[in-house]
Structures are given as structure tokens and as C-alpha cells.
């Protein structure tokens, strides 16, 4: 490769880097607006309601209720983005996964109801599946709550969490599970946040 060719490639790389930085900066500026952040949270919460069942598309490698997809791992994909850009969609994704896994708690931990290790093991966790599902569901709610508190304007984080988690829980419980017990367990965490906020205000 000649010196001229090297210089041409280097110049193109610099141009590409400048364009990439401009795009990331633009995305960062967009993510600064509350409306865009709220939209990303709602969209990702809705899309990620079914994210844990992606294991059905990879059944040769993953068992249904795989320990990989039935966890917070799918939501962590947003860590590859800048913190300001990825925080909002990650918060929504955490809520979607947490709602799904909350409803999974109602299944008997036998057969496909259990959490399974991937190939080549494909071993179920048995009774410990309850701890895995509950831990990830609660962890997802907690992370979503903290992200909303940090990246939404002061005073918005808690009500947005309550409304979004409650709405997604009610929707998924009715639409996907179809009975009251699912609605109750899928909206339990936002309900507890409401009760805690109400009791705190009464003490003030």
C-alpha cells in the first residue's frame, strides 16, 4: 500500500470518526429531552414484555425459561450506548422484563416452568427457580426506579415509575395471562411504591 493510499485511508477514517461523533452527540442531545426519554421508556417497556421468551427462537441451544433470557441480561445491551442515551431505554426494558418475570412466579416450578441452564447442560434449577425469578424481577424494578430518579427531572421519577410499571403490569396480566392473580402480582411493586409514598407524606 502506497503512502498516498495510506493518507487517503487515514483521511477517510478521520471523516468517519467525525461523523460518528456527530451522530452520537446528536443522539445525546435528543436524549436530554424529557419527552424523548419518556417515549423510549414506554417503547422499551412494551417491547421487552416478551423479551424473556426469545429463548423459544433458540430452543436448540437454550431451553424455554433459559437462565440467560429470563434475567436482566437482555436489558443490559443498552450499556453499549452512552450513559445519557442508554439509560432511558434500559429503564423501560427493565420494567418489561420485571413484569414478565413477576407473572412467571405464578407457574409451578416443574418442567418448562423452571429456569434452565443452556446447552450443553440444560439442567433445571428446580425450586431455586423461584429465587432466580423473584431476584431478577425485583432487581429490574429497582434499577428502573433508580434510573428514572436520576435521569428524569426532579419529582418525575417516582410517578413515572408507578404509572409505567403499573400500566405494563396490568396490561400484561390481562392480555397475556388473562386472570386477576397475574394482574395483582404484576402490579404489586408499583402498588407498594404508592403505599410507601403515601405513608411518607402522611408522616411529614
- Over 60: is that where the pLDDT of 191 sits? yes
E strand or H helix that includes residue 62? none
Mean pLDDT is lowest, of 21-30, 54-63, 108-117, 147-156, for 21-30
Distance CA(27)–CA(56), nearest Å, equals: 33
CA–CA distance, 144 with 85 (Å, rounded to integer): 15
> Between these two residues, 147 and 28, which has the higher pLDDT value?
147
CA dihedral 77, 80, 83, 88 (to 10 degrees): -30
pTM of the model: 0.82
Over range 12-25, report the average pLDDT: 62
Average pLDDT over residues 152-177: 95
Q: Give tens-digit pLDDT for 79-122.
A: 998 777 889 999 999 999 999 999 999 999 999 899 999 988 88
pLDDT of amino acid 30: 57
**pLDDT tens track for 33-74:** 888 899 999 999 999 999 999 999 888 888 889 999 999 999
The answer to whether the CB of 190 falls within 8 A of the CB of 162 is yes
User: Among 97, 203, 88, which residue's Cα sits nearest to residue 153?
Assistant: 88
**Res. 8: pLDDT tops 60:** no
> Checking phi first, is residue 33 left (phi over 0); if not, alpha (psi -120 to 50) or beta?
beta
- Secondary structure (3-state) at 76: helix
Instruction: Determine the 3-state secondary structure of 131 from DSSP.
Output: helix
- The interaxial angle of helices 157-172 and 129-151, nearest 10 deg, is 140
Q: What is the distance between the terminal CA atoms of the chain, rounded to a whole angstrom?
A: 74
Amino acid at each position: 500500500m502506497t503512502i498516498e493510499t495510506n493518507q487517503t485511508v487515514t483521511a477517510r477514517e478521520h471523516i468517519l470518526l467525525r461523523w460518528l461523533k456527530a451522530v452520537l452527540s446528536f443522539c445525546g442531545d435528543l436524549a436530554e429531552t424529557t419527552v424523548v426519554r419518556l417515549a423510549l421508556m414506554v417503547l422499551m417497556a412494551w417491547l421487552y414484555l416478551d423479551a424473556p421468551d426469545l429463548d423459544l427462537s433458540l430452543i436448540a441451544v437454550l431451553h424455554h425459561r433459559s437462565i440467560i433470557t429470563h434475567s436482566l441480561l437482555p436489558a443490559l445491551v443498552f450499556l453499549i450506548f452512552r450513559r445519557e442515551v442508554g439509560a432511558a431505554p434500559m429503564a423501560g426494558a427493565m420494567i418489561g422484563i420485571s413484569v414478565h418475570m413477576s407473572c412467571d412466579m405464578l407457574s409451578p416450578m416443574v418442567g418448562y416452568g423452571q429456569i434452565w441452564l443452556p446447552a450443553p447442560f440444560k439442567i433445571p434449577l428446580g425450586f431455586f427457580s423461584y429465587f432466580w425469578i423473584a431476584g431478577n424481577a425485583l432487581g429490574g424494578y429497582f434499577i428502573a426506579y433508580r434510573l428514572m430518579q436520576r435521569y428524569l427531572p426532579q419529582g418525575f421519577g417516582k410517578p413515572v415509575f408507578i404509572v409505567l410499571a403499573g400500566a405494563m403490569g396490568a396490561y400484561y396480566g390481562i392480555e397475556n395471562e388473562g386472570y386477576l392473580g397475574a394482574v395483582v402480582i404484576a402490579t404489586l411493586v408499583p402498588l407498594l411504591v404508592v403505599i410507601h409514598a403515601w405513608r411518607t407524606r402522611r408522616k411529614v
